[in-house]
Amino acid sequence: MSASRLAELLATQLPNSLATRARALLRTQDALDRALPSALSGHVRVMQLENGTLSVACESGAVATRLRQQTPAVLAALGKHGVDACAIRPSVDPGLRERYAPPHEKPGMPSKALDGLAHLNAEIEEGPLKEALDRLLRHHRGR
């Protein structure tokens, strides 16, 4: 959900207490994005800030580990951005990664090119090149 759609939803449909909490989490997310090193920015999402502990979801274990290593610096930067947190509790949520996009179908090799390769394949002697051309032709003609 985009920030503008979320803001619209907050303004129109949520109960006031829930809207206030959502706005606070959005501000915390904004501060966290500014406080994180560039390698981590965009890979960590705020879940909640309760009793001084900032719970975040990281897209991988590597991101969570790096965040744990840099916790003191991130907490100091968060303090400068107005977020009162004394600890960060990262957890791994692989669902934050970009959704899988299936590869798009590429057009096959033109038939004129395949005919030329077949002609070349018929004229060369046995060897690795002929085997490679056989595999290439079987692959493209099999489509």
pLDDT tens for 37-82 read: 988 888 899 999 999 899 999 999 999 999 999 999 999 999 998 8
Q: Is 81 strand, coil or helix?
A: coil
Instruction: Strands of the chain (E only): list them.
Output: 44-50, 53-58, 87-92
The first and second tokens of residue 114, run together, are 């395949």
More confident residue, 65 or 2: 65
Average pLDDT for 131-143: 86
Q: What digits encode the pLDDT tens for the residues 95-136?
A: 777 666 667 777 888 889 999 999 999 999 999 999 999 999
Whether the Cβ atoms of residue 36 and residue 45 lie closer than 8 Å to each other? no
Domains of the chain, CATH where assigned: 3-96 (3.30.300.180), 111-141 (no CATH)
Write down the pLDDT at residue 134: 92
Rounded Cα–Cα distance for residues 126 and 130 (Å): 6
Kindly report whether the global pTM for this prediction surpasses the value 0.75: no
Give me the pLDDT at residue 41, please. 85
